[in-house]
């Protein structure tokens, strides 16, 4: 247990754990959220996949809905032109497959990847932090994959749904940061006007709707 003097934010909290794990000479680092439960052998299956392929830098499990058990996240394809992340559907089999980004609730990261790519960008705090990390890993020549035989159950936004307007603001702010850091200049020419015309109204309206819905359910 690493006790921090204050709440430094999600990404900085991850980095505190990574620094300690590196000092302990860990070969792998499992970034595991507080609203996740792992199914049996999930960690060993992630490690097995990474042991079999030394080019894998980040491996994520299938993330199942906590209540229904249905696949909620199976990896993403990232559209840098418009700033959208497309959910990949349920995998056809059990073979490991490559993605642009693995959903960040329980990603296993190779120690050599951390030493090569560096720590998480603490300016994100939360949201797009793992997307940025996976993009940097891929840029550094590492593969990012999903291991279908590894499965976790995730209570979607169990913490942040209590503050949905703040959540919408973080998504907007961090999407812009992610694009500025990782998109090509010619992609930004398309993304920037799309961001102001589409993303800002979408996230703010969605945040307001979700806030009213949660308030109504609370009554």
Percent of the chain with pLDDT over 90: 82
pLDDT at 212 over 80: no
Q: What is the pTM of this model?
A: 0.91
pLDDT at 38 over 70: yes
* Interval 98-108 mean pLDDT: 97
* Interval 211-217 mean pLDDT: 67
Per-residue pLDDT at 147: 98
176 falls in which pLDDT band (50, 70, 90)?
Answer: very high
Per-residue pLDDT at 136: 98
pLDDT tens string 126-161: 999 999 999 999 999 999 999 999 999 998 765 555
DSSP helix/strand/coil, 150: strand
pLDDT at 47 over 90: yes
To which residue do tokens 């930004």 refer? 188
């Amino acid at each position: 247990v690493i006790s921090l003097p204050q709440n430094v934010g999600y990404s900085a909290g991850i980095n505190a754990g990574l620094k300690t794990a590196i000092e302990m000479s860990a070969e792998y680092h499992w970034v595991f959220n507080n609203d996740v439960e792992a199914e049996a052998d999930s960690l060993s299956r992630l490690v097995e996949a990474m042991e079999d392929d030394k080019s894998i830098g980040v491996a994520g499990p299938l993330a199942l809905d906590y209540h229904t058990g249905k696949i909620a996240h199976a990896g993403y394809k990232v559209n840098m032109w418009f700033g959208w992340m497309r959910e990949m559907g349920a995998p056809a089999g059990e073979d490991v497959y490559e993605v642009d980004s693995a959903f960040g609730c329980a990603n296993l990261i190779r120690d050599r990847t951390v030493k090569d790519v560096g720590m998480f960008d603490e300016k994100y705090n939360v949201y797009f932090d793992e997307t940025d990390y996976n993009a940097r890993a891929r840029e550094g020549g590492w593969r990012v994959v999903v291991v279908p035989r590894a499965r976790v159950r995730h209570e979607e936004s169990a913490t942040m749904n209590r503050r949905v307007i703040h959540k919408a603001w973080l998504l907007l702010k961090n999407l812009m940061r992610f694009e500025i850091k990782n998109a090509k200049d010619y992609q930004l020419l398309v993304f920037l006007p799309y961001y102001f015309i589409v993303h800002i109204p979408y996230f703010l309206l969605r945040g307001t709707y979700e806030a009213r819905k949660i308030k109504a359910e609370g009554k």
